[in-house]
Structure 1
Amino acid sequence: MVEGLGLKGPRGWAFREVSFRAGAGSLVALEGPSGSGRTCLLLALTGRMRTHEGHAEVGGLPLPRRMAAVRRIAALGQVPGVSELDPSLTVAEHLRERALLQRRFDGSVRALLRRPGTRAAETRARIDEALAAAGLDPAALPKGERTSVRDLERLEALRLSIALALIGRPRLLGVDDTDLKLSDADRAAAWALLRTVADSGTTVLAVCSEAPADALRITTVASDADTAGETGENGESGEPAPDEKTADTERAATAGPGAKTIAEDDITEEGADDALAETGRA
């Protein structure tokens, strides 16, 4: 649930008067042109940026008051400048690094006392589960899991970033630039993947330039800085095609004057640390 959410930066309002409702397992498309506040909205709803007006509730946790708790149940796929893949690392290195971080930050004391062989088997099982959910088959890559990220196709890199996020079994998944530089076929495959993730019960927030018809569409609108705060009620929103997940979703009203650039002062220190931890470079 999101009501009147707004975030203001040095250049004016990044977004304002954002309101919508989405149940667990929804596919929410944050649609709009570059510079309309889509990424800021994604980071705010995943507990990485502090908003300045309105409120939201994610998994029963209020924002911005419980940002740290929201970050524990929300994971980021690709978000440029925040959680990016390292082109110099291989697929296996990314997966191993994320699994070790997951065990370090989320593992119970009992899990740490298990035999090394048992822990290794459980880690491998979790990685395989995430890879299957993301539709990434390492055996189909040029060098298997030893393939460097720089050698991955755009869709393969997207699948890897989602697999890394799913290792933590999050309740909320955020992905930026979902359809950027994808062919029509790859774009359809990307949305099919996110739809499958949502069908499994994980709510998906996906930034895009054009949302699919069956997603809950939240449209942000770019505006000049000198009109920031004056166009908050002129945004548009689409409605999802009726289905079991979005039938009770209310119409969203959004507006997004401001720049997409994320000011350092807008990201909380804890949010930055968590974002770095997700990439393994904290």
Structure 2
Amino acid sequence: MIIVVAPEHAQLDYAPELALTATDLALDGPWGPVFGPVNLEIRAGGVTILEGSAGSGRTSLLLTLSGRMKASSGSLSVFGRTRPREIFEIAGVAGFEDIDELAESVTVRDLITEQIRWDAPWYKLIGRAGDRELEAVCAPVFGDHPLPALGRYVSDLGELEATLLRIAVANTKKPALLVVDDLEQVRRDSERAYLVERLVEMGSYQTIIASTVNPLPDGSPIDAVALLQEVTNPDQEGAR
């Protein structure tokens, strides 16, 4: 059994409660087990890092925890919600290949405008994003890092900027749960450490789960929990 809790030093604005409980959670694909059985308990608030081999097994586990996939067996409760559609409504995802990838041919302005329009009621007319919208969407995630210029193309962004932008777009509604895949997308240790710092800050008002293959950089302010190889099958094909 794997038991995961928010780090003791996480600064929460509310009393801890169980955000997520998974019991014997498993997913089978056309060619055998994809992940599981997995047993998790994650407290509300803070950041939980799941450390394990990259691949469809780990990714499918994260997508199941966020309501994007349905497990074959076992049970899952996220803030009291048990149906994938209900979990989907209170969970955001970022960093997933083929799910929230940014089109390289669009500008930061286009991306933010599209997300604001997507979030708005259908009858509300939304103009093109300006500096105020850029600040509202990106500042809570970027922190002290300079915000990207509205006219910059996604293809011109560095790894840290692109990842922070993906998280910012996924987090416009501040979902109760935010799941971020593959922190190694930011390859430079110093930049990945800053990414982790930003996730920790965001964990003061929402629950965050992220994944990584390698140990976190020295000095990272959170703990990691290793996933057993047999729990997440990195070689399973057709899982997504």
* TM-score over 0.5 (shorter chain): yes
Aligned CA distance change for structure 1 residues 52 and 206 (closer, same or farther; 3 Å): same
Confirm whether residue 256 of structure 1 aligns to residue 232 of structure 2.
yes
Structure 2 match to 1:271: none
Correspondence list, 1:84-163, <5 A: 84-104=101-121, 128-135=135-142, 141=148, 144-163=149-168
TM-score (norm 2): 0.80
Structure 1, unaligned stretches of length 5 or more?
223-230, 232-254, 265-282
Identity %: 28
Structure with higher helix content: 1
Structure 2 match to 1:175: 180
Structure 2 match to 1:59: 79
Confirm whether residue 220 of structure 1 aligns to residue 227 of structure 2.
yes
* Separation of aligned partners in 2, 1:81 and 1:260: 17
Q: Which has the larger radius of gyration?
A: 1
1:70 to 60, 80, 87: 87
TM-score (norm 1): 0.68
* Separation of aligned partners in 2, 1:70 and 1:124: 33
Aligned CA distance change for structure 1 residues 145 and 170 (closer, same or farther; 3 Å): same
- Counterpart residue identity of residue 67, structure 2: G
* Separation of aligned partners in 2, 1:75 and 1:209: 21
Question: CA contact under 8 A between 2:47 and 2:207: conserved in structure 1?
Answer: yes
Structure 2 match to 1:207: 211
Structure 2 match to 1:247: none
Question: CA contact under 8 A between 1:180 and 1:208: conserved in structure 2?
Answer: no
* Separation of aligned partners in 1, 2:181 and 2:168: 15
Aligned CA distance change for structure 1 residues 120 and 150 (closer, same or farther; 3 Å): closer
SS in 2 for 1:40: helix
1:32 to 38, 52, 69: 52
Structure 1 match to 2:31: 11
Question: CA contact under 8 A between 2:50 and 2:227: conserved in structure 1?
Answer: yes
Aligned CA distance change for structure 1 residues 127 and 23 (closer, same or farther; 3 Å): farther
Superposed CA RMSD in Å reads: 2.8
Report the number of matched residues: 217
Question: CA contact under 8 A between 2:66 and 2:88: conserved in structure 1?
Answer: yes
CA shift at 1:215, angstroms?
A: 3.8
Structure 2, unaligned stretches of length 5 or more?
1-20
Aligned CA distance change for structure 1 residues 6 and 194 (closer, same or farther; 3 Å): same
Aligned CA distance change for structure 1 residues 75 and 140 (closer, same or farther; 3 Å): closer
Aligned CA distance change for structure 1 residues 36 and 122 (closer, same or farther; 3 Å): closer
* Separation of aligned partners in 1, 2:136 and 2:37: 38
* Separation of aligned partners in 1, 2:236 and 2:208: 20
After the TM superposition, list the runs of 4 or more consecutive aligned residues in structure 1 that deviate by more than 4 angstroms: 119-127, 136-140
* Separation of aligned partners in 2, 1:82 and 1:150: 17
